[in-house]
Every structure is written in C-alpha cells, then in structure tokens.
Amino acid sequence: MTDLNTLGETWDKLGKYNAFWAVLSDKKQWNEKEFFETGRKEIKQVLDNLKKHKVTPSHGKAMDFGCGLGRLTQALGKYFDEVVGVDIASSMIKQATDLNKLKNVSFKHVTSGDLAPFKTGTFDLVFTDIVFQHMENEYTLHYIEEMHRILKRGGVLVFQLPSEPTNTWKGLLIKGLPDNMLTYLRKGMEMHPIRKDKVIQHLQDTGFNVITAEHDSNHKHWDAYFYYASKT
Ligand SMILES: C[S@@+](CC[C@H](N)C(=O)[O-])C[C@H]1O[C@@H](n2cnc3c(N)ncnc32)[C@H](O)[C@@H]1O
C-alpha cells in the first residue's frame, strides 16, 4: 500500500512538473481562463442537481478536498460564505493560493490522512472530484468517515469515483495491464476505483443518507459516478 508520504511526494512532483495537466490531463497546455471555467460549470451542475433532488444545503462553509489549483474551490467561493481547499501536495497549495482571486477562499496543506485540523459538525458542503480515484481504497473509505464527522447535520457530501473500467479498447487495456505499469504510464498517478454497490454500502454504514449516484459522463474508459449524500 502506498503510504501517504509517497502519495504526497508524487503529487508534489506532478504539481511542479505541470499542475494544470496533472489536474485535467486531457490537455498538456491549458489557458487559465478556460481551466477555471470548467470548474464554474461543474459546480453549477452540482448545485443544480442538488436542487433537482430538493436538497438545499446552507451556503455557509464548504470544503473542496484535493483542491489542486483551486479550480473548484474558487467556483464554490461564488456560492458559499467561506471555502477551504485542502490538498496533500504543497506545490498545489502554493499555486492555488497564487491563483486565488477570492477573499472568502483559503487553502490548507493536509498530510495526516484524516481531516483532524477541522472541527466536528462545522461544514455545510464537502466536495471532491477526481481525487479519491488516485488513492488506495482504505484512505478513501476513511476520508468519507471524516467528511461525515466534519459535516453539520443536514450537510451534504458530493464526490466522484470510478466504479470499474468500461469495455472500450482503453478500458479493456486498463483491465488487462498490471497496475504498476499503468501507474508508470500515468507518471505516478495511481487509479483505485471502488464498485458502486460498495461505495453506497459504506456511505450508509457511515450514517449518510444516499440522495443519488449520477453517472459521470466525463470519463469514457471508466464507469464513474458522482455520489450525493446528506448527514441526517
Ligand atoms: C487530479 S487532481 C484534481 C484537483 C481538483 N479536485 C480539480 O478537479 O480541479 C487530484 C488532486 O488530489 C490531491 N490529492 C491526492 N491525494 C490526496 C490526499 N490524500 N489528500 C488530499 N489531497 C490529495 C492531489 O495533490 C491533486 O491536487
């Protein structure tokens, strides 16, 4: 199992090598404005989906876990009074801070494998996208428990996670090739899906009410979902 120091070092190097690409690897060179626009669209979609399910979290405090350059943190800052972006890589936190334009958004380097720096029952929304997939399942399951702890009653957790590779040619390659070779080809980014039924079971065991699991159409070679859950 990859320890958290190694995971942090890998992401720190990726952040120094090409942070924009490490966050959204469909382009090697990103235009900053376009990059942040993807975040605004995504957060609007998430909040619209919550509305569709008649869930309206208070717009007090939000967390963007695994914030990278703050693409989604700043987008959340338009809706919430206070937003904190958390990341394991100091290179990401430094660049996110430099790129930040909002007073109500801040960033924190967290390497402990939990959310210990944050008080119980203090967040209205915890969000995380394309983060859990890059760490071993045990870490993900523990972070979900921590997210439950830091949310207020009625607070909402939204996260994305692949369930399994699809049957596209690349999906079949992912199923067939050894994990260490795939990690090498992705410059150290590990991929760790969790099956949808197991995720839902864990959410329920942790005490969440599962609102919905929406298919994430951004990934052709992975059957991935956005999970929406509330703390009852
Ligand atoms: C692919 S990037 C996505 C960044 C951001 N969520 C976005 O979509 O714009 C993954 C991010 O997760 C961070 N990360 C990976 N493991 C983490 C962990 N255990 N705790 C906090 N951040 C982590 C990485 O440093 C990196 O910035």
Q: Mutation test of ligand 1: which of 1, 42, 64, 88 has the most ligand atoms closer than 8 Å to its C-beta?
A: 88
Q: Residue 117 C-alpha to ligand 1 middle, in angstroms?
A: 17
Q: Which class for 48: exposed (0-12), middle (13-18), buried (19 or more C-beta within 10 A)?
A: exposed
pLDDT attached to residue 178: 86
- Whether the Cβ atoms of residue 4 and residue 111 lie closer than 8 Å to each other: yes
- Indicate the pLDDT class of residue 185, thresholds 50, 70 and 90: confident
Where residue 143 sits, what CATH number does that domain have? Answer: 3.40.50.150
Q: Residue 160 C-alpha to ligand 1 middle, in angstroms?
A: 12
Neighbours of 167 (CB within 10 A): 11
Pairing of strands 123-128, 151-165: parallel
**CA–CA distance, 86 with 127 (Å, rounded to integer):** 11
Q: What interhelical angle do 90-99 and 4-23 show, nearest 10?
A: 40
Which residue is associated with the tokens 């693409």?
A: 71
- Whether the Cβ atoms of residue 96 and residue 30 lie closer than 8 Å to each other: no
How large is the average pLDDT for residues 74-98? 98
For ligand 1, atom 20: residue with the closest CA: 88
Phi, psi of 92 (to 5 degrees): -70, -45
**CA–CA distance, 84 with 76 (Å, rounded to integer):** 9
How large is the average pLDDT for residues 160-180? 89
How large is the average pLDDT for residues 52-74? 97
**CA–CA distance, 70 with 105 (Å, rounded to integer):** 9
pLDDT per residue as tens digits for the range 128-152: 999 999 999 999 999 999 999 999 9
Q: Does residue 176 carry a pLDDT above 90?
A: no
- Indicate the pLDDT class of residue 157, thresholds 50, 70 and 90: very high
For ligand 1, atom 9: residue with the closest CA: 71
How large is the average pLDDT for residues 221-228? 95
Tokens representing residue 203 in the block: 């959410």
Q: Is the distance from the beta carbon of residue 23 to the nearest atom of ligand 1 less than 6 Å?
A: yes
CA distances for 199 relative to 59, 71, 87, angstroms = 26, 25, 22
Share of the chain above pLDDT 90, in %: 87
Neighbours of 176 (CB within 10 A): 9
- Indicate the pLDDT class of residue 76, thresholds 50, 70 and 90: very high
Q: Does residue 183 carry a pLDDT above 90?
A: no
Neighbours of 13 (CB within 10 A): 14
- Indicate the pLDDT class of residue 192, thresholds 50, 70 and 90: very high
Q: What is the mean pLDDT of the chain?
A: 96
Q: Is the distance from the beta carbon of residue 70 to the nearest atom of ligand 1 less than 6 Å?
A: no
pLDDT attached to residue 179: 85
Q: Is the distance from the beta carbon of residue 147 to the nearest atom of ligand 1 less than 6 Å?
A: no
How large is the average pLDDT for residues 207-217? 96
Q: Residue 138 C-alpha to ligand 1 middle, in angstroms?
A: 16
Q: Is the distance from the beta carbon of residue 161 to the nearest atom of ligand 1 less than 6 Å?
A: no
Query: What range defines the domain where residue 220 resides?
Result: 4-231
Structural element, H or E, at residue 226: strand 222-231
DSSP symbol at 133: G
Higher confidence at residue 177 or residue 126? 126
Q: What interhelical angle do 32-52 and 4-23 show, nearest 10?
A: 100
For ligand 1, atom 27: residue with the closest CA: 68
Q: Does residue 93 carry a pLDDT above 90?
A: yes
Q: Is the distance from the beta carbon of residue 66 to the nearest atom of ligand 1 less than 6 Å?
A: yes
How large is the average pLDDT for residues 191-213? 97
Q: How many domains does the chain have?
A: 1
pLDDT attached to residue 186: 83
